[in-house]
Amino acid sequence: MELNYFALIIITLVLGFGAQAMIKHTYRKWDKTPSSSGISGAQAARRMLDANGLSNVSITQVAGELSDHYDPRTNVVSLSASVYDSHSVSAIAVACHECGHAVQTAQGYVPGKVRSAIVPVVSFASNIWMLALILGIIMSILGLIYLAIALFAAVLIFQLVTLPVEFNASRRALAFIQQSGWLTAGENSGAASVLRAAALTYVAAALASVLQLIYLLGMARR
């Protein structure tokens, strides 16, 4: 069992680090390429929001690298410093992706609503499942082990629901960028590469969780 779990850890680390390395490599490659239009990430975000009737959604600058996100509770698109003022292809792609989430919220995109609805449950499950598993193993209580597996499964469900949400936001972003004519054909290809690499990180995380859930189920049976 220890050997199998060690192998699982190695696979999980490879998936995680591999996905992170790809997004950073792709992002940095196209971050060195200025857009033909010369607009910044913040300007692209504002135009996409306004084009979708979302003048009520504000844009702010936050610290960190690739810390960009949209908060539906405050209706704010937060862009990292390297995206907010940057005129690169990467900056435009990332900024519009986050605006894609704002459009999803405004249009009542169902997977997005489901993800938001289960956030409290997933937050609790992610904090408690490991404790329940350890207690179940130490005390030899199978019920606790299955509870831990159920809690972990909730985390996995959240990750799986996140996939269509992220893919859809990227499709909205790329469609708007292409329609706007800000980028050349080659730059559009670069923007698509950045968005695909970002999506891969979510796929890798979900795949790692699937493997871990399979292992936990096998452990419970033994």
| pLDDT tens digits for range 41-81 | 999 999 999 999 999 999 999 998 889 999 999 999 999 99
Q: Calculate what percentage of the chain has a pLDDT beyond 90.
A: 77
Largest separation between any pair of C-alpha atoms in the chain: 64
| Contact between 182 and 35 (Cβ < 8 Å) | yes
Q: What is the pLDDT averaged over residues 23-50? A: 95
Report the run of H or E that residue 4 belongs to, with start and end: helix 2-31
Q: What is the pTM of this model?
A: 0.89
**Distance in angstroms (rounded) separating the CA atoms of residues 91 and 97:** 10
Alpha helices in 33-109 (DSSP H): 41-51, 81-84, 89-107
What are the residue boundaries of the structural domains of the chain, listed by start? 2-221
Condensed to tens digits (0 to 9), the pLDDT of residues 160-202 reads 999 999 999 999 999 999 999 999 999 999 999 999 999 999 9
DSSP code of residue 79: E
**Distance in angstroms (rounded) separating the CA atoms of residues 13 and 2:** 16
Catalytic residues: 98
The per-residue b/e assignment along 114-139, b for 16 or more CB within 10 angstroms, e otherwise, is ebeebeeebeebeeebeebbeebeee
Strand partners, 61: 79
**Distance in angstroms (rounded) separating the CA atoms of residues 135 and 119:** 25
